[in-house]
Amino acid sequence: MHIEQLKLTNYRNYDTLALNFSPKINVFIGENAQGKTNVMESIYVLAMAKSHRTTNDKELIRWDSDYGKIEGAVQKRHGILPIELTITKKGKKGKINHIEQSRLSHYIGQMNVVMFAPEDLNVVKGSPQIRRRFIDMEIGQISPVYLHDLLTFQKILKQRNHYLKINQGKVMIDDVMYEVYNEQYIHAATQIIRKRFQFMDLLQEWAEPIHAGISQGKETLAIKYRTVAGIEKEHTPSEVENLLHKKLLEAKDREFDRGVTMVGPHRDDLQFLVNNYDVQTYGSQGQQRTTALSLKLAEIELIKQETNETPILLLDDVLSELDDYRQSHLLNTIQGEVQTFVTTTSVDGIHHETMEHAQLFHVKQGAIEES
C-alpha cells in the first residue's frame, strides 16, 4: 500500500497543497515551525480520522476557514482508492471512493499507517493513558468491530460515571439500578479486554524477534497486558465477567465516594519487560528506545499479516533521536518495501543508501519545493 497523491485544503498553515509521492521514501527537509510536520500529520489524520498531536480538531482547520479537507489517492493491491476527510467545527465526515460513510469507524482502516515520532518513546516511559491510546489506535486500524465496541464501551462508561456522580456521597442507593448499569458495563468491558489480550499476543509474536535482532541477541522483550481486575488472557468470557463483577462490588463504596468508575479497561496498562526487568522503571534510555522501535517495526508486520497490505510508515523527526545503529536497523528493515515519510531538519547526519534514492521536499514558510 502507498499513497500516490495528497491534496490539502485549508489545513493548518496550508490554504491549498497538492503533492505526488514516491512509493518508497519521501523526505521533508526544513527548519522547525515551517510546516513539514503538518504534512506528516495530515497523512496520519487522513488514515486515522484524528491527529497524533492534538485532541482538538478545530486546530486542524486553517485559522480563517470554516472547514479543512484532506484528500488522498491510495494504491492498494486491487487498484487506486480515493479517500477524503472533511473537518468542520461540528465534526468530521469521511468518504471512500467518493461515497460518504455513515460512521467514521467504517472509514478508518482504508489506509493503514504506523507513526513513529519522539513522543512515541513515551509509549514505554510515559503514562498508562498513552499506552492505552496506543493499543486502541492500533487495534482500531485492523478491526472496525473493535472501534465500534470501544465507542460503545466509552458511551456506557460515561453513563455509569454520571450515575455514580449524581449519587456521590448518598447513603441509600438503588441497588437494582446499580446492577443494571453494571450489567451493561461488564458486557462492554469484556469485549474490549479480550480483544486487547488477543492483540498483545500478536504484537508479542512480532516484537520479540525484532527486539532480539536489534539487541544482537542480548535481550528478550516481553509485553504484558495488566488489568486492574486481575484478569488473565486464559480466562473465558464468563470468567472475565465474573471477575469484573466481583471487583466492581469490592470498589462500590469507593466509586460512590469518588463519583467515578475505578475498575475496567480504561484503567488498565501495558508492561514491557526486558530480560524480565520492567524497562519503564529499570531500563536505560537505550533499552527504552529499542523497545519503542521494536514495537513500531512489529506494528508494520502485524498490520501486513492482518490486512495483506503493507502499511505506510511516518517518521516524524525521529531519526535524529536514534543512534546510528538503531537508525540503520530501522532503514534496513523498511528498505524498498514500506512507503516511508521522513521529516528532518537535515539529511547530513543520515548515512544510509536508502536515502540516496529518496524523493526530497524542501519546506520553508509553508511553501514546498520538490528536488
Cβ–Cβ < 8 Å for 153, 147? no
Strands 221-226 and 91-96: unpaired
Q: How far apart are alpha carbons 369 and 4 in whole angstroms?
A: 17
Cβ–Cβ < 8 Å for 254, 262? yes
Q: How far apart are alpha carbons 38 and 10 in whole angstroms?
A: 12
Q: How far apart are alpha carbons 29 and 110 in whole angstroms?
A: 28
36 known member of a binding site: yes
31 known member of a binding site: yes
47 known member of a binding site: no
34 known member of a binding site: yes
89 known member of a binding site: no
Q: How far apart are alpha carbons 28 and 21 in whole angstroms?
A: 11
Helix-strand-coil percent breakdown of the chain, rounded to 5? 45, 25, 30
154 known member of a binding site: no
What does the angle CA 284 – CA 231 – CA 238 come to, to the nearest 5 degrees? 155
Terminal-to-terminal C-alpha distance of the chain: 24
219 known member of a binding site: no
Q: Which residues are annotated as a binding site?
A: 30-37
Q: Which residues are annotated as a binding site for ATP?
A: 30-37
